[in-house]
Structure formats: structure tokens, C-alpha cells
Amino acid sequence: MSDPGLAPRGLRVAVILTGLSLLIWLPFEDQNERPALFFSLLLCGLAGAFLLHRLGSLGVVPFWAYPLLGMLCGLALSPLAVLLLAVKSGLHSHLAPDYTIADLVSVLEKTPVWAGVGLLFGLSVGLWGKYRRGRLAGL
């Protein structure tokens, strides 16, 4: 029997593939913030999945935890993307940074939108889980 705190194999493989693709993306020269937002979305989603798995190993996850966790992951998305942009810009060490302050501000301005997206996604996952538990119970 496996350790209940250990994440499922698919989640661990997703983390490894995300890390490898992040390492491949870092050295490329680009000035588009979309890849950083994409990797931030992946990392926040994986962190949320790990937390849900951890909560699920302790018992049944309450319904309110899904939208709350989704909103927290959404709130973390933009600052994490800015961090990725700063690390990428710092690794290239050009005289002028790859991303301007306006680029970073535009990413941070989307934080409320990402928080709303995370809230709605968490709500949908919670409703799906509630429906699935009801069907498994024979209701």
C-alpha cells in the first residue's frame, strides 16, 4: 500500500514535465509575457492539486475548500508570473531588461481576473466532486 501523503503518479509526472519545460523555456529570448502566465498557471494548478490531494488524504474535503483554494491559486498566479519574468530577465543579464515595468504591471493588473477564474474553477471542481460522490453513493 502506498503512502497516503504521497501524490499520485500522474501528478508527480506532471510536476516533472512542467519543471523540464520551464527549464527549456528560460534560455529563449522573447518579450512576451504569455509563456510566463502559462507556466504560472501550470504551477499554481499543480500546487492546488497537491493541496487537494493532501486534504483528501486526511478525510473528505469540505465543499467550501474548493472555491477557496481555487481563489488562492488564482491570486498567486500573477505574482508568480512576475517572479518568472524577473528570473528570466535576470538570467539573460542584458543592459536593458527583457520585460518593461509596463509589462509587469499589466500582468499584475490581471490578478482580480485570475482570482475570479480560480474561484469559478474551484467551484466547478467542488460541484463535480459533490455530484460524483452522490452518484457513487447511489443517489
Is residue 55 in some structural domain? yes
Is residue 2 in some structural domain? no
Is residue 4 in some structural domain? no
Distance CA 123, CA 133 (A): 15
Give me the number of domains the chain comprises: 1
Helix (H) or strand (E) holding 136: helix 111-136
For residue 129, the model assigns a pLDDT of 85
Is residue 1 in some structural domain? no
The grid coordinates listed for 68 are 477557496
pTM here is 0.85
Is residue 3 in some structural domain? no
Phi, psi values for residue 98, rounded to 5°: -65, -35
Range of the domain at 30: 9-136
For the segment 73-121, what is each residue's pLDDT rounded down to a tens digit? 999 999 999 999 988 887 777 677 778 889 999 999 999 999 999 999 9
Q: 62 by DSSP, 3-state: which?
A: coil
For residue 65, the model assigns a pLDDT of 92
